[in-house]
Structure 1
Amino acid sequence: MTVYNVNLGIGWASSGVEYAQAYRSKVFSRMQIPARFIFSDLILADNIEELTHNLGFKDQDIIWLYNFFTDVKIAPTTYTLDEFKHAQHFEKRNVKSSVQSFADGKQVVHYWLPDENLKINVRIYNLKTQAIDYAEYVVDSQMVRREFYSYIRYVTEYLSAGNHVYARDFYNEDGSIAYHQFINGNEEIFELKDQIFYSKTELYAEMIRRLHLTKTDLVILDREDGKGLVSGQLWYQMHVPAKLGVVVHAEHYDKHYTNQDNILWNNYYEYQFTHADQTDYFIVSTPAQKQVLKTQLASYQHQAPKVVAIPVGSLSKLMMMPYAKRQRHSLITASRLASEKHVDWLVKAVAEAKKSIPDVTLDIYGQGVQQKKLQKLIDSLKAQDCIKLKGQQDLATIYQHYAGYIAASTSEGFGLSLMEAVGSGLPMIGFDVPYGNQTFIEPDQNGYRLPYQSDWSEERKVHELADAIVKLFSDDQKAASFSQKSYELAKPYLDEKIAQKWQALVNEVTK
């Protein structure tokens, strides 16, 4: 029996979907249930192992579409510069070199081979071990080839004028070519030893066939249908005899375009909902969303599939810290720095609250496209002394040092950072919106769940947040009681409790 978890890509600043899978991986490991995590995006800027390992996945649990048809393992970057130089026979060639250092701790060694009119630029991934992960070949100022390394060279790209990739070779461990990829605009052809596939979707279908799914296997769709790929429909067509489930990670419909007769599903889930009769189970994160979805599927699709509520995250333990020992009047928020998270409202709210609470601070954790914009806003408000962008960090032992958690997101399917915050005993501030805040904020018990209307002005929304900050930090005794209540709310999310929910689902759908 194996649980296959389906996704697209992963990065250093991953979304809640990837973090949810990472939590699930740990739970399945605890339950000794074999689980594999499938990624289908082409990931070459970094070794995919570095990205998955960063979130706590085990290398042997990762299936990457692009090396599935090779015997290369998911493994750390260990191929050394000396190995590269030896493979290139530099000792027999006229080679000059220089080194360029970068702020991220990496170096690029530039090799110039004048007799061959060739430049080779090699990126050193790890200065201590001298491991490399990338090499590019330049002729007459035109990059003609790129190579990518983990413990061996695993792929070579070939480029034409304008740095357009027109082909790739994917290798086996012994250096032989496992398959070719040919690219012409949006068209892709994959040539294996004895098979040719005329699209990424066809290649993906072959991967599913080679998984040899059994009736005791489970397939869990987290994300599907990426660039040049239609995988969701494939799983519906090809999963039998395995069971098929869908995780709903976000708000699943748009209430503004929903009435008694029609519903506008979230387009990420529309195919799955319209094929609810072919879905063995849907997984949502909260009982509230479970009830809403069941009612809507019955009303609009005339279907009654199994819908279960299993939190997408869990807590290994409660991170205990007496409230009196925390940094006074300090706030934390953690999310992708994306527009829908409305972190700019938090910046403005803290700047406003500072007029009443002079020592208030806000630390913003996470990365994203809004980072520069947020820093400009902080600078324009002259709030650099009290509001700081802290980047992407492991927050497991950080939350409990703060005096409160604040969020301005107007919709969360669950809210992993909210769960982690209550697990560290933080008083909470957020809007009264589905589903995360309604799950983790009990009004006047562990924080403030603020009124919200989408058509309110930004000024009013900011003012609601600022007032809540002032209210929280004007009564230390009440804030301390909020902290204790958060710890109580977190107990049902401990690992063993969530493991029991997964075990019950696995037992039921595999019988």
Structure 2
Amino acid sequence: MYFFVNQGIGHSNSGVEHAQFYRAARFRALGLPFKFVFTDHLPQLHQHMGEWQLAEHDVIGLYDYLLSDAPDDYLHFGTTQPHSYHEDALWDTQQRQRLLFRQTTGQYTETIQRRQQHADAAKGSWVVDRVILENKTHRISWHYQYMSDEVKQPVDIHVDNFRGRHYLFTTQDELLQFFFSELERYFDHNVYLIDRGTAHETALVTLKQQGADLKLGVVIHAAHFVDFVAGHPLWNNHYQYLFDHVALIDLIVVSTVQQRLDIITQLQKVGVHNVAQKVVVIPVGGVASVAQPRHWAGGTAKFVTAARLHREKNLTHLIQAVQQLRQAGESVTLDIFGVGQEYAPLARQIQTAQLEGVVTLKGLSQDMVTAMQPYDAFVSASYSEGFGLAYMEAISLGLPIATYANQYGAQALVRENVNGHLAAFVPEKTAESQNIVHLTQAMRRILTHYDALSQGASQVAADFTDERIAAQWQRVLEGLV
């Protein structure tokens, strides 16, 4: 069995989850058995599965499994009768929430108990203290240990009446190790592809060290490296455990040739050799078909972008670039698809710049290929991308792209003067104004030779067809198992 291991999914998702969805479609086309594995507590999991068209029999949720009346049946069929989600709260006379009761979308209920965080009531708030999950006689409960006001971790995790036995796990790591050992007990010839969560790597490496006959792969979705400090590599903290235990990892999947070469070179500099055969390039997204080149007859150029509304995506740069283009006499608009914590600040920036009706926050789309059809060009202001699925979606439609020349995503998918333009940037606050000037210039240049760039997009897309990517997976997995 092939497992795609992640913490969870939601109403909106990042590129990591979309990469999993794409991989599932390729495995399905190849006839390879797979399961999504989600280990976070997700009260609305089955609702979100429905939104993203994930079949119940393709998903294993840790808490659904441990609370199931028939665990083996659940591993095979999934949750056969999901519930509708609802919740009720109990408030005290001071209007403080003390209890929260939820009917999850799975087969169990959740009760959350809150306590006062500080003895001095003036100092703190009421925080989650205890969580109880129940399905008839099956029960899971834990307390939270607060490392700070913002950081907490579950401790003293009781799992009652799982297969007729009672368990106590001191930490979440112990629970995860038990959960994966259960998957090992039920399934054969297992390959785990970890998309997110260092704790998953820890649990599975431990099982492997204890003799479990499993294969372990890690899919890298972002820039993995920061710098060398005093001769030692400073890795992205999401991948620190991976590179510390690379000898126990069977497969490392990256999306670009350059990232593969960088990983091999950086490991060799610290004396880690013989890793080239386990670092492979398989793009996390592709195109179902190659679109016909577009023709732009002039008029208003409609730019589009799609990203989580987070600061790291630098969406403020796009708004300023549109403002500069309009001040220079160009007729352009920009629609921004996505949701996130920066919605309100972006809306204020649009209003302050008097760009209402020119720049529009469009919200979430669960089908960006369809949503981007009416637009002329794609634009991105991200300084860092592991691959950039939104780039691929734009390429599949024949859209020229203007973007910062981020190391892996843009430089792999946007070829200068072929299917778009790369804007130079320096990732420092002091360079922001100049970066925006460069991005504005890249957007303007798209308008000067649009048709040739759209034809180039179709050429680039031919290198990333679904069939080619499925064949890459098949070759790699045949060598692994």
Residues 1:177 and 2:137 are matched in the alignment: yes
2:202 matched residue in structure 1: 233
Residues 1:3 and 2:2 are matched in the alignment: yes
The answer to whether the 8 Å contact 1:77/1:149 transfers is no
Of 350, 361, 367, 2:322 maps to: 350
2:68 matched residue in structure 1: 71
Of 218, 237, 247, 1:267 maps to: 237
1:221 matched residue in structure 2: 194
1:107 matched residue in structure 2: none
Q: What pairs up with 1:86-485 in 2 under 5 angstroms?
A: 131-137=84-90, 143-150=98-105, 152=107, 154-160=108-114, 164-172=127-135, 176-183=136-143, 185=145, 186=153, 187-193=155-161, 194-197=165-168, 198-212=170-184, 216-225=189-198, 230-239=199-208, 240-255=212-227, 257-258=228-229, 261-305=231-275, 306-320=278-292, 322-324=294-296, 328-393=300-365, 394-455=367-428, 457-473=431-447, 475=448, 478-485=449-456
The answer to whether the 8 Å contact 1:331/1:362 transfers is yes
TM superposition shift of 1:9: 2.5
The CA distance in 2 between the partners of 1:133 and 1:382, in whole Å, is: 41
Q: Which amino acid aligns with 2:160?
A: L
TM superposition shift of 1:195: 2.5
The answer to whether the 8 Å contact 1:31/1:499 transfers is yes
The CA distance in 1 between the partners of 2:81 and 2:258, in whole Å, is: 44
The CA distance in 2 between the partners of 1:326 and 1:190, in whole Å, is: 65
Q: Which amino acid aligns with 1:462?
A: I
TM superposition shift of 1:258: 5.0
1:42 matched residue in structure 2: 41
State the Cα deviation string for residues 224-260 of structure 1 (Å, max 9, x = none). 14xxxx33211111143111111111111113x457x
Distance 1:6 1:329, change over 3 A: same
1:23 matched residue in structure 2: 22
State the Cα deviation string for residues 299-358 of structure 1 (Å, max 9, x = none). 224232210000011222234473348984110111111111111001101110112344
Partner SS state of residue 179, structure 1:
strand
Q: Taking structure 2 as the reference length, what is the TM-score of the superposition?
A: 0.86
Q: Which amino acid aligns with 1:219?
A: Y
Q: Which amino acid aligns with 1:428?
A: I
Task: After superposing the two structures, state which structure 1 stretch, 379-388 or 315-324, moved more.
Answer: 315-324
Partner SS state of residue 336, structure 1:
coil
Of 448, 466, 476, 1:495 maps to: 466
State the Cα deviation string for residues 84-110 of structure 1 (Å, max 9, x = none). xxxxxxxxxxxxxxxxxxxxxxxxxxx
User: Between Structure 1 and Structure 2, how many residues are aligned?
Assistant: 443
Distance 1:404 1:189, change over 3 A: same
The structure 1 segments of at least 4 consecutive aligned residues displaced by more than 3 Å after TM superposition are: 72-79, 135-145, 160-172, 318-322, 324-328
Partner SS state of residue 269, structure 1:
helix
Partner SS state of residue 344, structure 1:
helix
The CA distance in 2 between the partners of 1:183 and 1:488, in whole Å, is: 55
The answer to whether the 8 Å contact 2:47/2:105 transfers is no
The answer to whether the 8 Å contact 1:190/1:203 transfers is no
The CA distance in 2 between the partners of 1:329 and 1:184, in whole Å, is: 52
The answer to whether the 8 Å contact 1:405/1:429 transfers is yes
TM superposition shift of 1:414: 0.3
TM superposition shift of 1:276: 1.0
The CA distance in 2 between the partners of 1:53 and 1:289, in whole Å, is: 34
TM superposition shift of 1:461: 0.8
State the Cα deviation string for residues 132-183 of structure 1 (Å, max 9, x = none). 533345676664350314375x1230425556545444344xxx22123032
Q: Which amino acid aligns with 1:420?
A: E
1:110 matched residue in structure 2: none
State the Cα deviation string for residues 357-408 of structure 1 (Å, max 9, x = none). 4420011111111111111111111011210111111212122321111111
TM superposition shift of 1:467: 1.7
Q: Which amino acid aligns with 1:170?
A: L
The answer to whether the 8 Å contact 1:76/1:151 transfers is no
Task: After superposing the two structures, state which structure 1 stretch, 487-496 or 418-427, moved more.
Answer: 487-496
The CA distance in 1 between the partners of 2:166 and 2:463, in whole Å, is: 50
The answer to whether the 8 Å contact 1:170/1:177 transfers is no
Distance 1:219 1:14, change over 3 A: same
Distance 1:320 1:190, change over 3 A: farther
The answer to whether the 8 Å contact 1:310/1:498 transfers is yes
TM superposition shift of 1:432: 2.1
The CA distance in 2 between the partners of 1:233 and 1:161, in whole Å, is: 32
Distance 1:270 1:61, change over 3 A: same
Q: Taking structure 1 as the reference length, what is the TM-score of the superposition?
A: 0.81
The answer to whether the 8 Å contact 1:190/1:199 transfers is no
Q: Which amino acid aligns with 1:25?
A: A
2:148 matched residue in structure 1: none
The answer to whether the 8 Å contact 1:77/1:132 transfers is no
1:120 matched residue in structure 2: none
Distance 1:136 1:327, change over 3 A: farther
Q: Which amino acid aligns with 1:232?
A: E
Distance 1:264 1:149, change over 3 A: closer
Distance 1:138 1:355, change over 3 A: closer
2:13 matched residue in structure 1: 14
Q: Which amino acid aligns with 1:32?
A: G
Of 56, 61, 65, 1:59 maps to: 56
